[in-house]
Structure 1
């Protein structure tokens, strides 16, 4: 008889583990300024959690020079530089990752960010906390498609139906929910994840015990 796959935890990156959203906003604003146009707060908020091609296409249509790939590369480099200088961990993120690693809970990163920035976060995370990353470079269809979460679950060797995802954008929550994971949602950008979810204001609200209890409850409910 085949043993069931274990439960695990998958984490979004920007706005969930690290506060890189201001870096993305400043990158987009600088790109817009280079073409003599603007990038409003509403433009930025509409881009959160969405594929990078979406906002890069809008900037291109507003006159920003270069291909879509070149526009994205300029923004990614801007964010990478700032992450290398100072990794902007959100409250409770490092502590939760470290605790889950000590408890032996398999965890991975799932992000619409570029692979280079995902690797920077993996290197800065507590030792062994994030075992792998699935980035925009690794999938055909980024969030809100379920592919990133399904890919991460497969590579990590966990059962998505018994696992949790931490997200802060509706696009990410829809992706995780579509992949079959239970969603725990940070309401820093929007109070509405668009799917059933456990709502949180910060990772500092919870500890390893709460996550393990949820994983056990999910396992029992799906047995």
Structure 2
């Protein structure tokens, strides 16, 4: 499946000619929040593909400047409440999305089923859960969770959200009726903090937020994360 065909088909964004983060206007969130917690899943093997993903040359969170500024404000506001964010993914190169599509088409590879899609047949993932073009590639979407810290802010632990990141199934839906009252409350805490700075949630994934309005809604990028 050629990348050029995917991004120039009717209704899909255009591909930026940028070849570096600087050319794309992508900035490292740690320029604004130097010690923000990061666990960038696709730079390693702890993800649904089970291997480092194409385009992730470093475990960094890159975002367009308006999204980075807004995310840094969320982190700042949360710290006043002894809470912090933990980031799983930010800007995602278009080549990484194509890696996902290839993985979804390899039905023989079931290594991560027990963790990431225990109730679904892998053949059902392409479409509803894995799309050929991702909003992450537009540079204003983040995947993250909320952590609660102790009074001294020396130890922080993720709140119970009901599923791990990148769980394919309805329990990951933000308003899933199968989540407990505590899990719903934690999801709402995260949602409130993100919405206050202009991020909107994707209803199928409690961890997924996009800045609204997006800085470049009709443009995706394919520069490596480095």
TM-score (norm 2): 0.30
Q: Which has the higher helix share?
A: 1
Greater relative contact order (Cα < 8 A, sep 6+): 2
More strand by share: 2
